[in-house]
Amino acid sequence: MKQQIALFILGTIVGGAIIFSTLSNKKEDKSTAILNVLESYCDCEEIQQLIYIKGLESTEKGSSTESAEYELKNCQYSDLKKETKRINQLLIKKVTDYKDIDRFTLSFVNQRETKLVTIYNGKINY
């Protein structure tokens, strides 16, 4: 009986340690990390992920192994180039392996127009 209780306690401790380790080491995936940065640091009415693809993709724009597109609606900014540069620097700083994204597109949408900015491996292409 004492041996069974000791095994039960040991099993509970080991199981708890495994569960704790798994939960505390869980990493946020890149697409969620990007969305969290955009939502935290951009003054927009709505931000949503349109596409996030990891794997070989071929389009008329070329081939990539990782691409993403996010739509930012009715954002408050005075200069698109400055805002894009600010966002890019935040993503480089806060999202692990952000520069591994071959093609990252920000789609700025308001009532009058849509402006697309594409970033290739952390470098902005206007």
> In Å, how far from its chain's centre is CA 27?
12
pLDDT by residue (tens digit) across 68-112? 999 999 999 999 999 999 999 999 999 999 999 999 999 999 999
Q: Where are the domains of the chain?
A: 30-125
The pTM assigned to this predicted structure is 0.73
In CATH, what class is 30-125?
A: alpha beta
The predicted-structure confidence for 25-66, as pLDDT tens digits, reads as follows 445 799 999 999 999 999 999 999 999 998 875 666 565 689
Q: Which residues contact 38 (CB under 8 A, 6 or more apart)?
A: 44, 47, 70, 72, 87
